[in-house]
Structure 1
Amino acid sequence: MAWDDLHDPNNQEPPRNPRGNPPGGGSGGGGGGTGGGPQFEIPQFKVPKLKGSSVTFVILFLLALWILPSVAYFVEQGEEGVVVRFGKYVRSAQPGPHLKLPSPIEHVYTPNVDRVRVTEIGFRKTRSGQIKDFPNESLMLTGDQNIVDIDLVVQWKINDAKNFLFNVHEPTKAVHNAAETTLRGIIGQHIIDNVLTTGRTDIQIQLKKSMQDLLDTYNAGIEITQTQLKDVDPPAQVVAAFNDVTSAKEDKERMIHEAEGYRNAIIPEARGKAAQVVRKAEAYNQEVIKKAEGDVSRFLQQYQEYKKAPEITRKRIYLETMEEVFPNVNKFVVPEKGGGVLPILPLNNSLNDSLTGTQGRK
């Protein structure tokens, strides 16, 4: 449509300039007469005339705005930039702003190397917080042919972004497989009592080292920061039997401790009594020795006297011996001369009867 066709043909006013003013000057008025249509006023503007250098500048500026997002990039704190050119690694970049060749020549990956990732073995925690068990992962065979149900949590992070991106196809799955395989091998070296009780710390330490060694052989760029045996239990079907066994073992340990306590209490007492008996025996030994030595000395003295006067010495010894013997034996007096039935005078019985009668009269 031409600019002069914007007026109403029935209007008696001269046609309006498309710039907004009537041809004769002055301001435009409203439409008059019957059947007149609305009038349009188009503002005046001028298209700037650009020189050749200005056009080039504008083109370059627009081109820079289009290219800049593909050549400039920023690596956040905790990340490591990995730049590839046509899919091949060329360099790494630390946190901060950097430049690269535009895509698709160069591309940059920025994995987070500070974030600690978690891999779960034997269970999974859902978004709602519920725990879902995976028996095919958690049931393991011990060294004494028993089955144990183990839930494991492995914490790990990236320690080499280049190796992490290019040497392992699925790093998370690699950590999961390494954890399950290594744990099964270690559990197979321990008896179930050790796994359920005192051996858990040693198993965790051994598991962490073995997993790290295995991943390092593949240059996976992964560092194992912690391994934790979350739950270690016998299978649900035999929990009652295991509890009975555990209770019996606890009773055994209690009785052993009680016996050791009794032993620790009785042994010092017995040793004290034994020492006392030894001391008495040693004292008796010294007493006997001194007495024997005295008897020997006395015998030698008597022997010297005996050699001087044998008859007198023999009689004195005889009388002294009788003095020691007579008070402790029954005595019967028999006359040297007598006929027929020899009268026997039981002095002891007579003496006892005499004493009994005297006491009765009193």
Structure 2
Amino acid sequence: MPWISDGGGGGSWKPSGGGPWGQKPSSPQPDLEDYLRRAQDRLRSWLPGSGGGLGGARGLLALLLVGVSLWLLSGFYTVGPSEVGLNKIFGRYTGKTGPGLNYNLPYPIGDVDKLAVTTRNTINVGFAYRADGRNAVDLPEESLMLTGDENIADVKFVVIWQIDPVRPEDYAFNIANQRETVKAVAESAMREVIGRSQIQRILTADRRVIEPAVQELMQRILNEYKAGVLVLQVQLQSVDPPEQVIAAFRDVTAAQQDQNRMRNEAEAYANRVVPEARGKAAAMIQEAEGYREQTVAEATGQAARFLKIYEEYKKAPDVTRERMYLETMERVFGGMDKVILDQGSDGQPVVPFLPLGSLLDKPHEGARR
């Protein structure tokens, strides 16, 4: 759009025509270059050395305040749900913070260390895995240990531990190379426990007591160090004799297992036979006691019967004697297949026509019936 002078002394310029519809605009349009020029002039007035005087000092102070504010705002930090933050001022520990948004003076005055206190860490002693994570490599300098009976045992085990969430500052500031320290304590504790045991018991019965003993000893040593470490578990992977004599030890172990098996079978047989023998003995004792009671009762009854007969005999000796004779004859000859004839008072025999044959047949028939 062409511009023309308004003819005044101010030398101002105005558009030569009206607006887009032939009307004059109510106010001049803003000039972008003019705004930029004014902003540059105003910034120069705030900067020191620009001749602004008091305005330059105030500009420097404002910039300083903005910088300090940004620096202070950089002190906000976030702690994860499984972490603990350790605040430090000039390298000195000042306190710990929990999960969430927290604040500490920013670097270089303050600093924050974040520790994962719920993460379980694993340390392998006596062996290590290759880079592929599949094949394990034996470390004999760690696994070979001397037993109490001066034998050598090849012990491989795993230690599971974590940072103590109650005292994480001990873990961060009291020990250096924390993982190596825990491994060294684990190896030392295992050597002490193995050194108090015998090789045969280590290979058989004592394996289940080695793990808690090593865990307890490790925790006690780390507590003395104030290491801020919790030993969660010790797991034995293998306990074997050295490779050169492992075949002989396996033979010994197999023989011991056979011995234990035979002992168990013998104990089972004894547990089965002894109760049977005791039962038979008790039955025989009860039978003997019953026979004794029966015999004593029969003897007592016969004695009482004899006494009663004797009393009656004293009252009537002839009658009682005759009765006893008849009862005795009846008891003696009652089951016999004979006929006994008594002679008459005059010495004459019985009439010969007596049918003795029929008398002799009747008992036989009765017996057959």
**Which TM-score bucket, shorter chain as reference?**
0.5 to 0.7
Match of 1:280 among 287, 296, 302: 287
Partner of 1:219: 226
CA separation of 1:152 and 1:300: change in aligned 2, threshold 3 A? same
Greater mean alpha carbon deviation, residues 220-229 or residues 62-71: 62-71
> Which amino acid counterpart does residue 195 of structure 2 have in structure 1?
G
Tell which deviates more after alignment, 71-80 or 235-244. Answer: 71-80
Structure 1 range deviating more: 84-93 or 44-53: 44-53
Tell me what 1:345 maps to: none
CA distance in 1 between partners of 2:81 and 2:310 (Å): 116
Which segment is superposed worse, 45-54 or 265-274?
45-54
Distance 2:123 2:303 in 1: 96
CA RMSD of aligned residues (A): 3.8
Of 285-294 and 172-181, the range deviating more from structure 2: 285-294
For residues 300 and 99 of structure 2, the distance between their equivalents in structure 1, rounded to whole angstroms, comes to: 104
Q: Give the secondary-structure state (helix, strand or coil) at the position aligned to 2:180.
A: helix
What is the CA–CA distance in structure 1 between the aligned matches of 2:200 and 2:229, rounded to whole Å?
Answer: 33
Q: Which whole-Å deviations, capped at 9, do the CAs of 1:51-108 have from their partners, x for residues lacking one?
A: 4269548734873597368644333332222222232222223333444334332222
Unmatched runs of 5 consecutive residues or more in structure 2: 1-32, 47-54, 333-369
Counterpart in 1 of 2:245?
238
TM-score computed with the length of structure 2 as normaliser: 0.62
> Which of residues 153, 156, 171 in structure 2 aligns to 1:151?
156
Does residue 77 (structure 1) correspond to residue 69 (structure 2)? The answer is no
1:163 Cα offset (Å): 1.0
C-alpha change, 1:288 and 1:95, in structure 2 (3 Å) is closer
Query: How many Å separate the matches in 1 of 2:142 and 2:88?
Result: 38
Cα distance in structure 1, aligned partners of 2:116 and 2:60: 42
Identify if the C-alpha distance between structure 1 residues 102 and 263 changes in structure 2 by more than 3 Å, giving closer, same or farther. Answer: closer
Change (3 A) 1:293 1:170: same
Q: 1:185 aligns with which of 180, 187, 192?
A: 192
Name the counterpart of 2:142. Answer: 137
1:90 maps to 2:94: yes
**Closer, same or farther: CA 87–61 of 1 in aligned 2, 3 Å:** closer
Over 3 Å counting, the alpha-carbon distance change for 1:298 and 1:208 in structure 2 is: same
Residues 298/58 of structure 1: CA separation in 2 closer, same or farther (3 Å cut): closer
Distance in 1 (alpha carbons) for counterparts of 2:190 and 2:281: 56
Aligned to 2:169: 162
* Counterpart secondary structure, 1:90: strand
User: 2:170 corresponds to which letter in structure 1?
Assistant: N
1:121 to 119, 125, 142: 125
Distance 1:110 1:302, change over 3 A: closer
1:7-66 Cα distance to aligned partner (Å, 9 max, x none): xxxxxxxxxxxxxxxxxxxxxxxxxxxxxxxxxxxx998572124269548734873597
Helix, strand or coil at the partner of 1:155: strand
Q: How far 1:190 sits from its partner (Å)?
A: 3.5
Query: Shift of the alpha carbon at 1:167?
Result: 1.0
Shift of 1:252: 1.6
Tell me which of 296, 300, 316 is aligned to 1:289: 296
- Alpha-carbon deviations, 1:140-166, whole Å to 9, x = none? 233444432211111111122211121
1:215 deviates by 1.0
Where does the alignment leave 5 or more consecutive residues of structure 1 unmatched? 1-42, 325-362
Q: Answer whether contact 2:72 2:105 (CA < 8 A) is retained.
A: no
Three-state SS of the structure 2 residue aligned to 1:172 is: helix
Amino acid at match of 1:151: K
Partner of 1:328: none
CA distance in 1 between counterparts of 2:136 and 2:102 reads 44
TM-score (norm 1): 0.63
Secondary structure at the aligned position of 2:196 is classed as coil
**Partner of 2:67 in structure 1?**
63
Distance 1:263 1:88, change over 3 A: same
Partner of 2:110: 106
Map Cα deviations across residues 96-130 of structure 1 (whole Å, 9 max, x no partner). 34443343322222222222221221112232223
- Cα distance in 2 between the residues matched to 1:253 and 1:184: 29
SS at match of 1:190: coil
- Give me the whole-angstrom Cα distance separating, in 1, the residues matched to 2:245 and 2:108: 61
